[in-house]
Amino acid sequence: SADFFRADNPEGVEARNEVAALAFEDMISWMQEGGQVGIFDATNSSKERRNMLMKLAEGRCKIIFLETICNDRNIIERNIRLKIQQSPDYAEEPDFETGLQDFKNRLENYEKVYETVNEGSYIKMIDMVSGHGGQIQVNNISGYLPGRIVFFLVNTHLTPRPILLTRHGESQDNVRGRRIGGDTAISEAGELYSKKLAKFVGKRIKSERAASIWTSTLQRTILTATPIVGFPKIQWRALDEINAGVCDEIKKNMPEEYESCKKDKLRYRYPRGESYLDVIQRLEPVIIELKRQRAPVVVISHQVAVLRALYAYFADRPLNEIPHIAVPLHTIIEIQMGVTGVQEKRYKLMD
């Protein structure tokens, strides 16, 4: 109950600090095994608690405090109601209003001891959740990874919008059974899919005039997008299929390389070409830009590496699964981004 979170409840304070220390040690152990960024999800709203964490982290990891400040009462009320609906804290409370009042009492207990962050390295995001204005304050942030964290946060928002992922229509190489590489046109079936896709996109996002269509620079994706009208089209070299170097028909012509690739598809780098990990790295600016968009985006690209990696990012799939994710031809995967997380729908337009 809310009484557990009172500052004048010594048993509650001791229990919360003990759990915080255990969780922090757990996270440090994970970072020592190779983790790079850990999110220590707690209120940490007093200087005393933050000093405790800085002492625990000393000589072991760098701490950046992230404080979000929201002055919009409507957003706060919405978030509180979402909390009651989704939090395990209230899973066994049958009465919504009782849970709501208890949580508001808990917030009052936090407010009594709240002290804004002004020590150490910190990022303050002030009224940024609505996506209209707001500001970000940064203090004592240096180094590559902290800089990337700031860049990520600046571009993150909770505006609900769909991202539609699809492969290009069937290509001439698909018909011939060639698995990777090349820059062929689409087949008759591919042309039929391009028309069906245009019809689907026209219905799905017709009212979203700020929507856009993204393709790779290879003609099979550009041709697939051609029948779609009314939206800007952007070509990204970063969305090009994995570069197979000199091995575009690796199984037939280079059996030893094919066996090496089969053993570790994630890390295997084609001679004079790329690995899956290389493609994931080049997709970072695409992902950041996708997260920054407030209107729908249709991404027409390639199964090998690109769409597998994008889908894995938004669906939170493990790194090692990426080379084995199936992205079927002539199918749209809709990723819905919003305040409650990521939801997925699939639409098969052709067999």
Q: Which residues are catalytic?
A: 41, 70, 168, 241
Residue whose C-alpha is closest to residue 77's, from 104, 111, 114:
104
Residue 101 sits at φ, ψ, to 5 deg, of -65, -40
What token pair was written down for 188? 């008759």
Alpha-carbon distance 311 to 296, whole Å? 16
Alpha-carbon distance 324 to 308, whole Å? 8
Alpha-carbon distance 342 to 351, whole Å? 27
Strand order in the sheet with 135-139: 64-69, 121-126, 135-139
Are the C-beta atoms of residues 121 and 109 closer than 8 Å to each other?
no
Strand order in the sheet with 341-348: 233-235, 212-215, 297-301, 161-167, 331-338, 341-348
Are the C-beta atoms of residues 46 and 115 closer than 8 Å to each other?
yes
Alpha-carbon distance 306 to 324, whole Å? 12
